[in-house]
Amino acid sequence: MLKKLILIFSIFAFGALFLLGCSTNEQNYTKGQNLENKNKDELIIAAGGEPEGGFDPTTGWGRYGSPLFQSTLLKRDSDMNIVNDLATEYSVSSDGLVWTLKLRRDVKFSDGTPLTATDVVFTYETASKSSSVVDLSMLESIEAVDDYTINFTLKNTQSTFINILTNTGIVPKHAYSQDYSQNPIGSGPFKFVQWDKGQQLIVEANPEYYGEKPYFKKITFLFLNEEATFAAAQAGSVDIAAITPVHANQKVNGMRLEAIESIDNRGIMFPYVKSGGRTEEGYPIGNDVTSDISIRRAINVAIDRKELVDGILNGYGSPAYTLCDKMPWWNAETVIEDADVEGAKKILKEGGWEDINGDGVLEKGNLTAEFKLIYPSGDQTRQSLAIAVADKIKPIGIKIHVEGKSWDEIKTLMYSNSVLFGWGSHDPLEMYNIYNSKLKGQDYYNPGYYENPIIDGYLDKAMAAKSEKEANEYWKKAQWDGTTGFSAKGDAPYAWLVNISHLYLVNEKLDIGKQKIHPHGHGWPITDNVEKWRWKE
């Protein structure tokens, strides 16, 4: 049944996208602009992910991948270790409130102006006023002690502050204006040249870059739809092409498939409380079926995650058990055995659910074991996952109604209906946001109104820790401490399904170096080590 569903959706997706057609730019690159005729120090990439808001780190650019044009104070290497970038060293006061960083003295922006502590202060002060996804509410003050020393003073200790230092690109005070996002200047390995919205972005190597000089002098990023991207790869018009699992097993001459491990996960969020409440906007809260822990645990136990990976993702992914699998703060004890249908039935029986009517759907009192599972319409992978889960859960007596909705509709329905969400970050703060009761009903973070005082305690201790090592122990306990946790072994407010591998067709002569585990979102994360790319000998 699952394989038939996959085939149907694959055909539907291909046909629908084909009918969309290609833009003029897409047509040009799919007719076969052969790469053999272009300079060997240039690359053409179709990796998707055009940033609608432009390239301003103070409003969020670079959170899910390299900021490319800008440098960060710290960064994570391919093994996820914290290493220096603009900073030469950093220290934290004994009370965990003051972070002191020393800067390199040889850094210039691409216009030749030196980068100093003044630019760092300006960047963070601008970001704190932007009312964007860059959350600096923990920052009490930032001070330039001298031209190359900065003090960050926090309101409270926060272990995840280090991730802000790795994610926030530094912008130039002297060259920052209202249109900076459209024409950025930075100190990163590449400099901005031209952006034709909806079509392409052109960048060139930054001659002022202080780090390892990029091998490639020019890179053109094409913004194509999925079918046009694959067609461009077939035509030999691009060096890198982001593709979907549908195309993964199709051989393309001159290109190899790179399946890059990610924590780009998909999982089912369950409303955790009983129905009856309403949000400030008047949207209903809670669900009487999914608020029953035996329903949530049974679904987690019955799902065959490996089958979802093999079937929906064509094998390009991994089973997901939390939102942070394989990160330094992941608790490996959260792994559960998949597809234990009999075990799931036992959980439901012990929870008081029975098939009273003999129709295959369980009842408990005046409740029937059925609920809606909503996915964002237009997302073929989430649609396929939702339908496959509903099909596999049916034998244990639970009926799931799958519905596709727009994000505007989901915003009104997610407090009282299950939703197939996608997350995945290099920052454990995401755990805090999704599972802490303080954030119940705030945006997309905790729409199910999950609450467990013990878990809140672990999360707060993780945030207040004075080192990442200490924090990681509390992050792990929040997932599962042997008795409780927010993983499937504990309260199970989510049923995590799969981690999606990021798939790229890469010119067989191109070496893209060692990639670290990618976060949520295809495209820019692959450029994180772009200065190390080169043609193979």
Q: What is the pLDDT of residue 66?
A: 78
Q: What is the pLDDT of residue 215?
A: 94
- Residue 535 has φ and ψ, to the nearest 5°, of -75, 140
Identify whether the C-beta of residue 493 lies closer than 8 Å to the C-beta of residue 287: no
Tens digit of pLDDT per residue, the chain (537 long)?
444 444 433 433 333 333 333 444 444 554 445 545 456 899 999 987 788 889 999 998 987 777 899 999 999 888 888 999 999 999 999 999 999 999 999 999 999 999 999 999 999 999 998 877 788 989 999 999 999 999 999 999 999 999 999 999 999 999 999 999 999 999 999 999 999 999 999 999 999 999 999 999 999 999 998 899 999 999 999 999 999 888 898 999 999 999 999 999 999 999 999 999 999 999 999 999 999 999 999 999 999 999 999 999 999 999 999 999 999 999 999 999 778 999 999 999 999 999 999 999 999 999 999 999 999 998 989 999 999 999 999 999 999 999 999 999 999 999 999 999 999 998 999 999 999 999 999 889 999 999 999 999 999 999 999 888 999 999 999 999 999 999 999 999 999 999 999 999 999 999 999 999 998 876 688 998 998 999 987
- The answer regarding whether domain 265-500 maps to CATH 3.10.105.10 reads yes
Cα–Cα nearest to 463, from 331, 329, 325, 324: 329
Radius of gyration of the chain (CA): 24
Identify whether the C-beta of residue 324 lies closer than 8 Å to the C-beta of residue 263: yes
Identify whether the C-beta of residue 528 lies closer than 8 Å to the C-beta of residue 78: no
**Would you give the end-to-end CA distance of the chain in angstroms?**
47
Q: What is the pLDDT of residue 468?
A: 87
DSSP structure string for 338-371:
S--HHHHHHHHHHTT-B-SSSSS--EETTEESEE
Q: What is the pLDDT of residue 95?
A: 92
Q: What is the pLDDT of residue 47?
A: 86
- Specify the DSSP class assigned to residue 181: G
Could you tell me the CATH superfamily of domain 63-183?
Answer: Periplasmic binding protein-like II (3.40.190.10)
Query: Hey, where are the domains in the chain?
Result: 23-50+197-260+502-537, 63-183, 265-500
Q: What is the pLDDT of residue 26?
A: 47
Identify whether the C-beta of residue 162 lies closer than 8 Å to the C-beta of residue 138: no
Q: What is the pLDDT of residue 383?
A: 96
| Fold of the CATH domain 23-50+197-260+502-537 | D-Maltodextrin-Binding Protein; domain 2 (3.40.190)
Q: What is the pLDDT of residue 20?
A: 36
Alpha carbon distance 445, 449 (integer Å): 9
Alpha carbon distance 413, 275 (integer Å): 13
Kindly report the pTM of this predicted structure: 0.85
Alpha carbon distance 446, 437 (integer Å): 8
Identify whether the C-beta of residue 106 lies closer than 8 Å to the C-beta of residue 210: yes
Cα–Cα nearest to 339, from 312, 311, 310, 308: 308
- Residue 201 has φ and ψ, to the nearest 5°, of -130, 130
CA 272 to each of CA 65, 351, 399: distance values in angstroms, whole numbers, following the listed order: 32, 16, 18
What number of residues does the chain have? Answer: 537
**Which run of H or E residues covers position 43?**
strand 42-46
Per CATH, 23-50+197-260+502-537 and 63-183 having the same topology is answered: yes
Residue given tokens 């860059």 in the structure block: 134
Identify whether the C-beta of residue 149 lies closer than 8 Å to the C-beta of residue 104: no
